[in-house]
Chains A and B, each alone.
Chain A
Amino acid sequence: MNFFRLTADLMHLLSIFVLLLKIQKTRSCSGISFKTQLLYAVVFVTRYLDLLKWISLYNTLMKIFFIASSIYILYLMKIKFRATYDPSQDTFRIEFLLGACLLLALVFNYTFTFIEVLWTFSIYLEAVAILPQLFMLSRTGEAETITTHYLFALGAYRGLYLLNWIWRFYTEHHIDWIVWVAGAIQTALYSDFFYIYYKKVLHGQKFELP
């Protein structure tokens, strides 16, 4: 564990709490892509098939939290606050993402086993899971400030993981190409968002696309 990775994980936790706060406080999931949340649930379930394999208490608790919270968010969006979800805004075709990620995972993996291919699939899928949300944002052209805080925390988590990998490469010669390439792409997807977040939200303005 190092500073970057711990901070990244805490940002990830924070992003989920901000999302839950947004839904509970406004009693609405408007502006949130159900498809992105669905993809995250798929990511966590397929990645943490090794849940029973002991690494540390921290590792196990975080895995349980990520799986449970992602499914809870699906429940909030699909059942509790269903009326506030507008599917006509959430039109990104996730079938292509799922198909492409599965294909890539079958071809580019470390070991061709069931668990390993699903783990690789989850890494690729996480890289692009935010696309339906960003697509929704670009369609509506604006977002509630709290939603942008959620996205910022999520993007910051990814950015900090890049720093963590650089740190780990120099301190422990840790190498993981699959995770690095996917993580770099994932972080790059946030660059436009970061720019507008910095220009607008941090200066007290509403998030609006130019």
Chain B
Amino acid sequence: EAAAKNKDEL
């Protein structure tokens, strides 16, 4: 999952 690697939200 791309979403799991890109945690730019707070």
Chain A residues within CB distance 8 Å of chain B: 5, 9, 12, 50, 55-56, 59, 62-63, 66, 110-111, 116, 119, 161, 164, 174-179
Q: Which residues from B are CB-within-8-Å of A62?
A: 10
CB atoms of B7 and A63 under 8 A apart: no
For the residues of B in contact with A, the DSSP-based class is loop
- Residues of the A chain whose Cβ atoms lie less than 8 Å from the Cβ of B1: 110-111
Cβ-defined contact, B3 with A174, below 8 A: yes
Contact-residue bracket for chain B: under 10
Cβ–Cβ contact A9 & B4, under 8 A: no
Main SS of the interface on chain A?
A: helix
Q: Does A111 contact B9, Cβ atoms closer than 8 Å? A: no
Q: Across the interface, do B3 and A110 meet the contact criterion of CB distance under 8 Å?
A: yes
B10 with A9: CB separation less than 8 A: yes
Taking CB as reference atom, which chain B residue is nearest A65? Answer: B10
Give the residue of B2, B7, B9 whose beta carbon is less than 8 angstroms from that of A50. Answer: B7
Q: Measured between C-beta atoms, what is the minimum distance from A153 to chain B in Å?
A: 15
Cα distance, A176 to B10, chains bound together (Å): 13
A55: which of B2, B3, B4, B8 is its contact (CB, 8 Å)?
A: B8
In the complex, the answer to whether A179 meets B9 with C-beta atoms within 8 Å is yes
In whole angstroms, what is the CA distance A107 to B1 when docked? 16
